[in-house]
Amino acid sequence: MATKAKTIKLADLSAVIDKAVEASAGKRLPGGTIIGKQIQAALAGKIDTKALARDVTRQAQALIPDAKLTPKVTIDGGIITCGFIMKPIKEVIG
């Protein structure tokens, strides 16, 4: 049986992450949310990961023009994330 895909607004996802960080750290921390596609590091030699991150960011920016997006590639444990950092419109330090 196929599973039904669920959707979530980026603002809701960001709010969930912010609440979890605040609960863990005991205070609000400034910063953005990293969003991207995870691929195996073995594929990195076959594609330009930085170009992929830039293209993902460009396409996302076209859909959400008010967002502040910065391309980002992270590598950890054989997994590469190619995407962007979504910076908050207003950063709150509490």
Tens digits of residue pLDDT in 47-84: 999 999 999 999 999 998 888 899 999 999 889 999 99
Q: What local confidence, expressed as pLDDT, does residue 89 receive?
A: 56
The answer to whether residue 49 is domain-embedded is yes
For residues 56 and 71, the answer to whether their CB atoms sit within 8 Å is yes
Does a structural domain hold residue 64? yes
Residues pairing with 74 in the sheet: 81
Q: Give the distance, in angstroms, between the CA of residue 8 and the centroid of all CA atoms in the same chain.
A: 14
Q: Is 38 helix (H, G, I), strand (E, B) or coil?
A: strand
54: in domain? yes
6 falls within a domain: no
Distance between CA atoms of 49 and 41, rounded to whole angstroms? 10
Q: Which amino acid is at 83?
A: G
Q: Residue 69 falls within a domain, yes or no?
A: yes
Question: What's the start-to-end Cα distance of the chain, in Å?
Answer: 47
Tell me, yes or no, whether 18 lies in a domain: no
Q: Which domain holds residue 76?
A: 31-94
Residue 9 lies in a domain: no
pLDDT computed for residue 94 by the predictor: 45
How many domains would you assign to the chain? 1
